[in-house]
Amino acid sequence: MFLLPGPLDARTGGSIYDRRMADTLRRRGYRVDIEELDPSFPHPTPAALDQADRALAAVCTGAIAIVDSLALGAMPDLIVREASRLRIVALMHLPLAATAGLDRDTAARFEEGERRALGAASLVVVTGKAALPLVARYDVPPDRMAVVEPGTDPAPLARGSHGPAEAGHHVLAQSYVASGFSRTSTELLCVGTLNATKGHEMLLEALAAVPQQNWHLTCAGSPTRDLATAARVQTAIAKLGLAERVTLAGDLDRYALEACYDRADLFVLATRQETYGMAVAEALAHGLPVVATMTGAIPELVGSDAGLLVPAGDRTMLMNALTRVLTDASLRARLAEGARRVRVRLPTWNQAAHGMAAALASLGDL
């Protein structure tokens, strides 16, 4: 049983991981049920806690209950109670207490809840090696921890902004024309929810300082999950005079997002915090060169020849890296060749499911 805060079709890295892992395990012959918890987690309403209580109580004694980290530490009383009869697996994308931008009281409350819940869990699965030191603060014994990183789907090579336009791209093409995009521009793509950790404001400031201004940026990601950050991003676009060169495309479905990858020449991400970096892996799967920050598994994914990486939070180095790639077409081409070599080595979802199955097998019969 997977217990995941809804909606299950949310296009966030955590939701995609949970959904794809469950689907792939099913295809491998495992019985996997999914319970969609209320989306108010990690700040659950009383009704949301009642629903979670009923969902856990309905799980057969002795069964495995995999609880997403977005809910786990927000309901420690339920986890501790049910751990006496269920094999609780904590699925840790990122500890709640480690979320960037939390006030001290909220972080302390989350840390206490996570400490209790993780202490009761039979197994803790982290979805990226970068989460290990963040979970280590909770003193989870090493023999109760496993790392199961995401997979990546095979993808067609991006044809870039100078590739042939197709009917499926007409909506995006219209937005490019409205924003002043031309077919001689370099098309940049950033994929990530507009929230405090993804670094959109720093990316915009860095791009505004790049001498080469012949570029267009599409930002794909929800603007409604963090309204304050989304408002700041829109303000920054206006203040920096980038309204004609930046499109906030919103939360795109699979087909529209695929069209964005196909039309891109370069993937950019100024994220402050990742445990893995699924959007970077997706970009590499399309053969796109990358300019990003060194956090999570991004350095391991990109390697030495598929992109330029800079320390998280360093605006000057980000501007310099963007300047190099945008002003040097031969460098961009070399990095694209590197991305095409990297893409064939990316882990698959089947490999990820194999790792999850092995981790769960340590609990006994599935």
Cβ-contact 110, 74 below 8 angstroms:
yes
What residues contact 131, with CB distance under 8 A and at least 6 apart?
92, 93, 94, 95, 275
Cα separation, 57 vs 71, in Å, equals 16
The single residue listed with the structure tokens 């751990």 is: 83
Phi, psi of 362 (to 5 degrees): -65, -15
* Rounded Cα gap, residues 106 and 42, in angstroms: 11
Residue 200 has, within 13 A of its CA and on its CB side, a CA count of 30
pTM of the model: 0.89
Q: Are strands 123-126 and 145-147 parallel, antiparallel or unpaired?
A: parallel
Length of the chain: 366
* Interatomic CA distance for residues 130 and 94, integer angstroms: 9
As a whole number of angstroms, the distance between CA 276 and CA 258 comes to: 21
Query: Which domains, ranges and CATH numbers included, belong to the chain?
Result: 2-151+348-361 (3.40.50.2000), 167-343 (3.40.50.2000)
Q: What is the pLDDT of residue 183?
A: 52
Q: Is 331 exposed, middle or buried (0-12, 13-18, 19+ CB in 10 A)?
A: middle
Per-residue confidence (pLDDT) for residue 225, from 0 to 100? 87
CB 126 within 8 Å of CB 132: yes
Instruction: Round to whole Å and give the CA distance between 160 and 163.
Output: 5
- Other C-beta atoms closer than 10 Å to the C-beta of 230 total 20
The tens-digit pLDDT sequence of the chain (366 residues) is 899 998 778 888 888 999 999 999 998 888 899 999 999 999 999 999 999 999 999 999 999 999 999 999 999 999 999 999 999 999 999 999 998 778 999 999 999 999 999 999 999 999 999 999 999 999 999 999 999 999 999 999 999 998 765 544 444 544 444 444 445 689 999 999 999 999 999 999 999 999 988 999 999 999 998 999 999 999 999 999 999 999 999 999 999 999 999 999 999 999 999 999 999 999 999 999 999 999 999 999 999 999 999 999 999 999 999 999 999 999 999 999 999 999 999 999 999 999 999 999 999 865
Q: Which amino acid is at 74?
A: A
Burial class (CB in 10 A: 0-12, 13-18, 19+), 47: exposed
